[in-house]
Amino acid sequence: MTHLPGVQVTAALGAASYQKDEAGVSVADISFAEVHDCFTIAELMTMEAMGLARPGEAGLLVGEGVTQKDGRLPPINRSGGLKAKGHPVGATVVSMHVMAARQLTGDAGDMQLQGPKLGLCFNMGGGAVASYVSILEPLEV
């Protein structure tokens, strides 16, 4: 089984496929992403599987700061991620969507990005039994 991709990667690949095929959204369209990072490596694996980084390069990109507020890639986990919130099991999905909504409404305080158009949330639970991607955009009123 060691030659098979891990559960995290498989779930993220499925979410990335949905993002591209069903929602018609490419990585270039994303203004920011909140991704599941129950462990540090999980964020890196998810970034690569979803096409936010090439295989083997996520750690380097994070280290170079290209996923930060003023980096060349969409900022990832501006909220600090799940670990910064104490990884509130059962509430992770809510916390990620609240952060995304705050970004899109201009209410993210010091974490605010300039004019975000589309946010991506990827989360999984129950050992990847439930995995999904959400693409969020601001409401037109």
- The answer to whether position 33 is within a domain reads yes
- The answer to whether position 96 is within a domain reads yes
Spell out the per-residue pLDDT of the chain, length 141, in tens: 334 455 556 666 766 676 677 778 888 889 999 988 888 788 888 888 888 888 889 999 999 999 998 888 889 999 999 888 888 877 888 899 999 999 999 999 999 999 999 999 988 776 656 778 888 998 876
- The answer to whether position 141 is within a domain reads no
Q: Which residues contact 120 (CB under 8 A, 6 or more apart)?
A: 19, 25, 30, 32, 33, 34, 35, 50, 74, 133, 134, 135, 136
Q: Which structural domain range is residue 86 located in?
A: 7-136
Picking from 76, 84, 82, the residue whose alpha carbon sits closest to that of residue 103 is: 76
- The answer to whether position 2 is within a domain reads no
Instruction: Map tokens 């098979």 to a residue.
Output: 4
pLDDT of residue 24: 81
Q: How many domains does the chain have?
A: 1
pLDDT of residue 126: 65
pLDDT of residue 123: 85
Sign of CA pseudo-dihedral 11, 15, 18, 20: negative
pLDDT of residue 1: 32
Residue 102 Cα distances to 7, 76, 106, angstroms: 30, 15, 6
- The answer to whether position 1 is within a domain reads no
Here the CATH number for the domain that contains residue 127 is: 3.40.47.10
CA gap 49, 120 in Å, rounded = 14
